[in-house]
Amino acid sequence: MKLLESYHLIWLHSHPERSEKWLRQQLSEGFHIHHINGDHFDDDFANLVLIEGSDHLRLHGIDLVSSVRRKGARGPRKSTLMRGAIAYDAKARGEKWTNAGQKSGGCGNHAAAMAAMKYAQRNNLPWPPESKQH
């Protein structure tokens, strides 16, 4: 089992209603702990927030769709696009990335998100997937 970072432990300490098991589950489903003020050395509990990984990357200016476009002219393999379509649809239904990964061939949540991103980019779909739940 992977050791938690010091900021994970500080976040847990400041949220006594949450268990380590619960936090590990959230992290495995693609959530991140974000340093609000941008200083990764400032682990004050008031500077830490749990957010979805795609939102975290966006906050740091990482445009995943553009990075996928730069991967090369050949584009993704068909199997990646098929897995991406399944993962994208699952996420659009409001499912967690872990479930989307399992439905799209047993890949992890990161692989499912990357495949879904490639699928969205190739098909000019919104990223991240817009939830169809009402």
Question: What are 42-62's pLDDT values in tens digits?
Answer: 999 998 999 888 777 777 666
1 in a structural domain:
no
Q: With 50 as the cut, is the pLDDT of residue 78 above it?
A: no
Same domain, 76 and 99: yes
Boundaries of domain holding 115 = 64-122
Q: Where are the alpha helices (DSSP H) in the chain?
A: 6-14, 20-28, 53-59, 64-69, 78-92, 97-103, 109-122
Q: With 90 as the cut, is the pLDDT of residue 89 above it?
A: no
134 in a structural domain:
no
131 in a structural domain:
no
Q: How far is CA 11 from CA 48, 56, 58, in A?
A: 6, 16, 21
CA nearest neighbour of 115 among 12, 24, 103, 36 = 103
Same domain, 85 and 107: yes
CA nearest neighbour of 105 among 127, 75, 52, 114 = 114
42 in a structural domain:
yes
130 in a structural domain:
no
Q: With 70 as the cut, is the pLDDT of residue 101 above it?
A: yes
132 in a structural domain:
no
Same domain, 81 and 118: yes
Q: With 90 as the cut, is the pLDDT of residue 99 above it?
A: no
Same domain, 11 and 52: yes
Total of domains in the chain: 2
Same domain, 36 and 85: no
Same domain, 19 and 40: yes
Q: Hey, what are 101's tokens?
A: 């990964």
Same domain, 33 and 82: no
Q: How does residue 102 score in pLDDT terms, banded at 50, 70 and 90?
A: confident
Q: What is the dihedral of CA 127, 78, 94, 48, to 10 degrees?
A: -60
Q: With 50 as the cut, is the pLDDT of residue 134 above it?
A: no
Same domain, 75 and 54: no
Q: How does residue 82 score in pLDDT terms, banded at 50, 70 and 90?
A: confident
Write down the pLDDT at residue 73.
Answer: 46
Q: Is 105 left (phi over 0), alpha (psi -120 to 50) or beta?
A: left
Same domain, 23 and 38: yes
pTM over 0.75: no
Angle between helices 6-14 and 20-28 (to 10 degrees): 120
Same domain, 109 and 70: yes
